[in-house]
A and B are shown apart, each in its own frame.
Chain A
Amino acid sequence: MNMEEFRIRTRQVVNDPTLTYHQRKHYLAGLAEGVLEYPTLSEAAAEALNKQIICDLFEGPAPYRGRYILPNYAKALQNGSAHLELDAPTDLDEALNFLLIMYTQVPSITGYPVYLGDFDKILEPYVADEDDESLYRKLKLFWRALDRMLPDAFVHTNLGPHDSRISRTLFRIERELLQVVPNVSLKVDPDLTPDDLILDAVMTVFETGKPHFVSHPLMVRDLGEDYAAVSCYNSLKIGGGSHTLNRLNLKEVALLHQGNIDSFLDETLPHYVELLAELIEARIRYLVEDAKFFEHDFLAVEGLIELDKFSAMYGVYGLAESVDLLMEAAGKEGRYGHDEEANALSYRIIERISTLVADRPMPYCEGNNGRAFLHSQSGIDSDLEVTAGTRIPIGEEPEMFDHIRAVAPHHDLFPAGVSDIFHVEDTVRRNPSAMVDIIRGAFREGMRDFTFNLATNGFIRITGYLVRKCDVEQFDEMGGRHGSTVFAAGSVKNSHVTNRYVKRVLSRESSPRAPQ
């Protein structure tokens, strides 16, 4: 971008009537970062980035904070913070006050914390003296403050797998306040999570589209006990996080490929997998070695995050188009999601990528034994004619059982998250235990994480994050208080998310850059 373009873009942001003051500041910072030179890449990687075959999700050329940071809030509450000049809280009021202060200091790609802690666990030490009414009142004020102070749908909390008074109270508050923030995930363990808690969560889904459901045993297998789902279904280690999230456009890779399926898997795919790995490595090195984030940020200094719990996220998307293109080139009609041979090919592609990523050493990724975490990336607002992650394209989804059976095998291979969103008929409102059955069945089928959407509540999932339908409708005229609404408005225009087949909803991820 030359100086004249830079001035025009800057002026556009400054004068954009749809942006709040904070949003303008955020985008101005992005524009400033954008004029710096990119970390050194090979010619091939630079070209692939330029052509968006590999994509850095507009994170900016000079990463100065990790993309997703999961502070160890339990430790902070236990020890207090010298940087924040806060003693360890002794009761619930002090704990909530402590957290609200701390959230303002947690860096992230959006400017707002993507993880707020597992509330049922971190608040447990402070609620013994609170009666139900007092707990409800205090948490409700806290909940409202989160939505108003951290207006970003990527702000995320986790509950479960055990039942708790805190989780029950928060679900009740969720159903009353109908807020976008925070996003919520419920960790479900078939042996530890009672039906009754899942039922309470389902009743909350009916009103708010939240929570998202996570397979606790699968996550513990891959990440250990201390994990959380953050932002848009990114599962990472608590006390750690992800330096960066970059992604490979499998549709573009398939379009560039000439040859049969075997040569795709053995030659073309490994070539681009390595180019994305190179991009990820360059970005990690800049963050750790040049911006020296882990040497000065108070979270690292106070041991609330540890470099050796970090890794990077290796995203893939456009699997559906990739499979269909390869099938077509092989003279076959079967399509991803509907045909066993096409599905089998999709599993081969993801298994191949999984092996390649697992064999590729990555610096500063001790959080995953020196490797990046594979992630099924759920899209951004500007994606056109390419399907999120490993999903089945909008409007082509088979009925729910076939849908689950087709996508579930992928879930095993994505420790950093793969989300599918199922649209359900409104009739299920009268029979929420049917949803409990489906949730338990989906986990037994091997699903890692997923959520449901109903046409008749006031929310819509765009790329995985929620927005209120009324906010999207008003956005073009009036702007939105939540930073994420701007992405949603783009998504709705670009992919007809409000116009989709009545069964499913696509989910995609944000691009932290200025609207144009």
Chain B
Amino acid sequence: MRAAQGHLNDVIRFSAVDGPGNRFVVFLQGCNFDCIACHNPYTINECDSCGVCVEPCPEMVLWFDGRHQVVVDDDQCTDCGICIDVCPSDSTPLSKMVELDDLLGRIEEVSHFISGITVSGGEPTLQADYVAGLFCSLKCSDKLGHLTTFVDSNGSADRETWDRLLPVMDGAMVDLKALDPGTHKEMTGVDNAAVLDSIRYLAEWQRLYEVRLLMVPGKNDSPEVVERTARWLFDVDPEMRIKLIGFRQHGVRPQFSHIPEAEAAHIESLAEIIKKVGIKELVVV
């Protein structure tokens, strides 16, 4: 089934940090994890039109429409971000339902500048039909068929969902927040069985572009835990590409502002541990 509309938070036309080469990135709205370290928490939930943001908007471009839904005048919005700051629900009034053809048009505009598309979020596999439709349209297009298709995922999708994407998806970047289920639950609110299975399954299909390990001080960054995680990943695929990322406070919700940022020297020492396990392709951010 091909969903004609997707719930988009935003797009970035040029990104150098979302997969190989220069990429057009689609951020979908909505996520099924609630990560303490989330850098864009306004992509987690759907807007429920509570209207808390309407009054504080300094440009007065937010209002209730006839069905009591919060709407925005795009042309007048200055992207000041105040609506996101005041949102009590980790959402935004600025996300949009976007037709697949409109999105394809925007991609076509920049197609000769990019290596491909990355769908991120939010959690893109929650809108797997839309993503599959997008990728399928790209792969079937004369003009856009050269573009590679990537998904940036929290790994929560089941095999059935991945099966819908695999025929048209070139690669996936998957976050592994923690190898230990208890820690994972503490950091994301959910168990990690599906994530571990996604990593195995995508590796098996050779569609796992990279696994990202976000090191949150005091949570998942002890040398022993990192070594065990690296070993597990090495056993899944010795050629595994890992991106090791130190936690930063940027964008994180106020209730988690007490979490300290990762120290560069510590991240470097963890990188050495991962290399020692035998991982050859390691990117440290």
- A: residues with CB less than 8 A from B are 399-401, 404, 425, 427-428, 430-431, 433-438, 440-442, 444-445
Say if the beta carbon of B285 comes within 8 Å of chain A: yes
Known: A431-B20, A435-B22, A441-B22. 19 other contacts (CB 8 A): A399-B14, A400-B14, A401-B14, A401-B110, A425-B16, A427-B17, A430-B283, A433-B21, A434-B14, A434-B16, A434-B23, A434-B115, A435-B16, A437-B21, A437-B115, A438-B22, A440-B112, A441-B113, A441-B114
Contact flags (1/0) for B83-118 with A, using CB distance below 8 Å? 000000000000000000000000000101111000
Q: Chain A residue with minimal CB distance to B115?
A: A437
A431/B114 in contact, CB under 8 A: no
B16/A431 in contact, CB under 8 A: yes
Q: List 11 A-B contacts (CB under 8 A).
A: A399-B13, A430-B17, A430-B283, A431-B16, A431-B20, A433-B20, A433-B22, A440-B112, A441-B110, A441-B113, A445-B113
Known: A441-B112, A441-B113. A436 touches B16 (CB 8 A): no
A435 — which chain B residues lie within 8 A by C-beta? 16, 22
B112/A427 in contact, CB under 8 A: no
A427 — which chain B residues lie within 8 A by C-beta? 16-17
Q: CA separation between A94 and B21, bound complex, in Å?
A: 43
Within 8 Å by CB of A431, from B13, B21, B112, lies B21
Q: Chain B residue with minimal CB distance to A425?
A: B16
- B: residues with CB less than 8 A from A are 13-17, 20-23, 110, 112-115, 283, 285
Known: A437-B22, A438-B22. A431 touches B17 (CB 8 A): yes
**Highest count of chain A CB atoms <10 Å: which of B23, B113, B285:** B113
Known: A437-B113, A440-B112, A441-B112. A401 touches B13 (CB 8 A): yes
B17 — which chain A residues lie within 8 A by C-beta? 427, 430-431
A440 — which chain B residues lie within 8 A by C-beta? 112-113
Determine how close the nearest CB of chain B comes to the CB of A109; give it in whole angstroms.
37
Q: Chain A residue with minimal CB distance to B23?
A: A434
Interface of B (DSSP majority class): loop
A430/B285 in contact, CB under 8 A: yes
A445/B112 in contact, CB under 8 A: yes
Q: Chain B residue with minimal CB distance to A404?
A: B113
Q: Chain B residue with minimal CB distance to A431?
A: B16
B285 — which chain A residues lie within 8 A by C-beta? 430
Within 8 Å by CB of A428, from B16, B20, B113, B283, lies B16
A401/B113 in contact, CB under 8 A: yes
Within 8 Å by CB of B22, from A399, A430, A434, A444, lies A434
B115/A438 in contact, CB under 8 A: no
Q: CA separation between A55 and B88, bound complex, in Å?
A: 60
Q: Chain A residue with minimal CB distance to B109?
A: A401
Q: Chain A residue with minimal CB distance to B113?
A: A441
B23 — which chain A residues lie within 8 A by C-beta? 434
Q: CA separation between A426 and B10, bound complex, in Å?
A: 23
Q: CA separation between A435 and B22, bound complex, in Å?
A: 7
Q: Chain B residue with minimal CB distance to A428?
A: B16
Q: CA separation between A445 and B109, bound complex, in Å?
A: 11
Q: CA separation between A482 and B72, bound complex, in Å?
A: 55
Q: CA separation between A427 and B15, bound complex, in Å?
A: 10
Q: Chain A residue with minimal CB distance to B15?
A: A434
B13 — which chain A residues lie within 8 A by C-beta? 399, 401
Q: CA separation between A291 and B63, bound complex, in Å?
A: 75
B113 — which chain A residues lie within 8 A by C-beta? 401, 404, 437-438, 440-442, 445
Q: Chain B residue with minimal CB distance to A402?
A: B13
Q: Chain B residue with minimal CB distance to A429?
A: B16
A425 — which chain B residues lie within 8 A by C-beta? 16
A438 — which chain B residues lie within 8 A by C-beta? 14, 22, 113
Q: Chain A residue with minimal CB distance to B111?
A: A441
Q: Chain A residue with minimal CB distance to B110?
A: A401
Q: Chain B residue with minimal CB distance to A440?
A: B112
Within 8 Å by CB of B21, from A399, A400, A404, A434, lies A434
B115/A433 in contact, CB under 8 A: yes
A441 — which chain B residues lie within 8 A by C-beta? 22, 110, 112-114
